[in-house]
């Protein structure tokens, strides 16, 4: 049994609201003591210690929307490269979308990904299962078997479940296993052919647009299906004021519905596309400034439960194309924390409030034993300096793909150390 004392820390635990000087004691992979004032007089001499230097010790981030490219597209990212990128970004738990090749629509693929990731000993990887076979939106995948194999929830990843009857059945069937369906809320026919937000900028650039209404139409349809089925529904990466409003009303009504957003949607708007910058080509597309502000409001009032990186690695060949032909998506593992902290630095939320959507909130939604500092929890922790300034440089990222929409952005908030199961897997100083 090996014990390790983390002393001289500012403990931040968004789950309990704790923000106090204190320490943590871990034994092997578990936290066995944590609290304000712990080791205030220094650690006992017989235990190895890590001096946190007064920096924030908090639970590792839980990222509930990540695309991994292994198996299938290892040239864009391997489990190892992306799990390492996660540790640099302070993420200790990744929940990955099933759009690998082969698709995670059966147990063997799910188990392959989970097993490979476990062997790496880096960020923990929990897969979602597909809702439909091959993500084709036609027949239900073996959701029960996937659940038994460890799927945390079901989603067709970057594809909306467009067929209302399939969605109705998926919501109904998933209740059997107590798991939720995660929807990419976008009406397929309105979005067809679109490459950026519809409106003046798209018109000026001569690019086909995706109207903002494509999102809320899907949200509203699915809310009716939740009323009909009693299913449990979660919307991924919401991007519009209209959709946030719809979810806000649904929550007030008491529906079992939650949602998340991603850093681009509260930190950027469609002007980032500028003169056809393909790194800003995301799905859903970057929207208007008023939408960005509505996403911030949704985070502040709790309508939006979680923030996920929406990590989507794309290689140069799929981005160095005319805008219309380029792939959607941006990498996000290494920028999730710093961009989320903008909510705190810009005065929208307290430090604790800003960190909850990337820790306790997503862990709670998915029933993950993660995202909190408490006795008995796994020792998945990060040490951060929320004020330390740095500049995002895509070329220096650990991800194999460098398609960050935030390249060149000055940010604040540095991960100093990442601890997973009691082992330091990333140390900024080394």
Partner 1 sequence: MSAFMNAVTPDQIRFPHRHLLGIEGLSPDVISLLLDRAESYVEQNRQADKKRSLLRGRTIINLFFEDSTRTRTSFELAGKRLGGDVINMAVASSSVKKGETLIDTAMTLNAMHPDVLVVRHSSAGAVKLLSEKVNCAVINAGDGSHEHPTQALLDALTIRRRRGRIAGLEVAICGDIAHSRVARSNIHLLNVMGARVRLIAPKTLIPSGIEQMGVEVYHGMNEGLKDCDIVMMLRLQTERMQGGFFPSVREYFHFFGLDYKKLAHAKDDALIMHPGPMNRGVEIASEVADDIGRSAIREQVEMGLAVRMACLDLLSANLSGGRREPA
Count of C-beta atoms within a 10 Å radius of residue 362? 27
Q: How many other C-beta atoms are found inside a 10 Å radius of the C-beta of residue 421?
A: 15
- Please identify which residue in 133, 227, 321, 388 interacts with partner 1, judged by CB under 8 A: 321
**What is the Cα–Cα distance from 358 to 331, expressed in whole angstroms?**
16
Number of residues lying near partner 1 (CB under 8 A): 23
The crossing angle, in degrees rounded to 10, of helices 107-120 and 79-88 is: 50
Among 88-96, 202-210, 223-231, 240-248, which window interacts with partner 1 (CB under 8 A)? 202-210
Number of neighbouring beta carbons within 10 Å of residue 251: 17
Q: Which of 32, 137, 199, 220 binds partner 1 (CB under 8 A)?
A: 199
310 is a catalytic site residue: yes
Using the contact rule CB under 8 A, the part of the chain among 201-209, 245-253, 302-310, 409-417 near partner 1 is 201-209
**Should residue 193 be labelled a site residue for partner 1 when binding is judged by CB under 8 A?**
no
**With binding defined as CB under 8 A, does residue 323 bind partner 1?**
yes
Q: How far is the CB of 221 from partner 1 (least distance, A)?
A: 23
279 contributes a contact to partner 1 by CB under 8 A: no
Q: Which two tokens stand for residue 9?
A: 């820390």
- Interface residue with partner 1 among 100, 168, 187, 201 (CB under 8 A) is 201
The single residue among 1, 45, 48, 206 that binds partner 1, judged by CB under 8 A, is 206
Phi, psi of 392, deg, nearest 5: -70, 120
3-state secondary structure of 96: strand
Minimum separation from the CB atom of position 192 to partner 1 (A): 11
Residue 275 in contact with partner 1, rule: CB under 8 A: yes
Taking residue 60's Cβ as centre, other Cβ atoms within 10 Å add up to 28
With contacts defined by CB under 8 A, name the span among 28-36, 109-117, 196-204, 245-253 that binds partner 1.
196-204
Angle 213-229/164-175 helices, nearest 10 degrees? Answer: 50
Q: Could you tell me the smallest distance in angstroms from the CB atom of residue 301 to partner 1?
A: 29
Q: Does 188 bind partner 1 (CB under 8 A)?
A: no
Residue 203 makes contact with partner 1 by CB under 8 A: yes
Ramachandran category for residue 390: left, alpha or beta (phi over 0 → left; psi -120 to 50 → alpha): beta
When binding is defined by CB under 8 A, the residue of 1, 46, 165, 204 that contacts partner 1 is 204
- Residue 404 makes contact with partner 1 by CB under 8 A: no
Q: Which of 117, 207, 280, 333 is the binder for partner 1 (CB under 8 A)?
A: 207
Catalytic residue selected from 222, 260, 310, 380: 310
Strands (E), 217-303: 233-236, 257-261
Q: Report CA torsion sign: 93, 99, 102, 103.
A: positive
Q: Which residues does 267 contact at the CB level (< 8 Å), separation at least 6?
A: 292, 339, 342, 406
Question: Contact positions toward partner 1, by CB under 8 A?
Answer: 198-209, 211, 275-276, 317, 320-326
């Amino acid at each position: 049994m090996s014990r390790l004392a983390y002393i001289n820390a500012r403990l931040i635990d968004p789950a309990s609201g704790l923000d106090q000087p204190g320490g943590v004691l871990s034994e092997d992979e578990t936290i066995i003591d944590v609290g304000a004032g712990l080791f205030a007089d220094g650690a006992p001499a017989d235990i190895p210690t890590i001096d946190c230097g007064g920096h924030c010790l908090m639970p590792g981030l839980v990222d509930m929307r990540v695309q991994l490219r292994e198996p299938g597209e290892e040239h864009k990212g391997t489990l190892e490269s992306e799990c390492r990128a996660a540790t640099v970004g302070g993420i200790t738990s990744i929940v990955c979308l099933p759009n690998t090749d082969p698709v995670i629509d059966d147990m063997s693929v799910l188990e392959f990904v989970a097993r490979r990731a476990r062997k790496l000993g880096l960020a923990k990887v929990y897969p979602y299962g597909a809702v439909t076979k091959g993500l084709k939106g036609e027949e239900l995948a073996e959701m029960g078997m996937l659940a038994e194999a460890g799927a945390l929830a079901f989603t067709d990843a970057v594809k909306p479940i467009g067929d209302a009857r399939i969605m109705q059945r998926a919501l109904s069937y998933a209740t059997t296993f107590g798991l939720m369906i995660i929807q990419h809320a976008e009406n397929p026919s309105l979005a067809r052919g679109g490459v950026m937000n519809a409106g003046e900028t798209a018109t000026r650039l001569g690019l086909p647009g995706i109207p903002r209404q494509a999102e809320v139409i899907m949200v509203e349809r699915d809310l009716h299906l939740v009323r009909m089925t009693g299913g449990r529904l979660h919307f991924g990466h919401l991007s519009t004021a209209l959709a946030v409003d719809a979810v806000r009303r649904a929550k007030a009504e008491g529906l079992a519905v939650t949602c998340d957003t991603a850093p681009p949607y509260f930190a950027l708007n469609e002007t980032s596309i500028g003169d056809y910058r393909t790194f800003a080509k995301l799905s859903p597309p970057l929207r208007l400034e008023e939408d960005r502000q509505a996403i911030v409001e949704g985070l502040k009032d709790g309508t939006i439960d979680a923030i996920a990186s929406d990590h989507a690695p794309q290689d140069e060949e799929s981005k160095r194309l005319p805008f219309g032909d380029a792939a959607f998506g941006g990498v996000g593992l290494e920028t999730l924390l710093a961009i989320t902290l903008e909510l705190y630095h810009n005065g929208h939320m307290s430090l604790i409030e800003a960190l909850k959507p990337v820790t306790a909130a997503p862990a709670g939604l998915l029933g993950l034993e993660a995202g909190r500092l408490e006795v008995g929890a796994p020792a998945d922790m990060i040490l951060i300096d929320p004020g330390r300034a740095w500049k995002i440089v895509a070329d220096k990222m650990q991800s194999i793909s460098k398609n960050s929409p935030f390249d060149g952005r000055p940010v604040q908030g540095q991960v100093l150390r990442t601890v997973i199961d009691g082992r330091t897997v990333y140390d900024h100083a080394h």
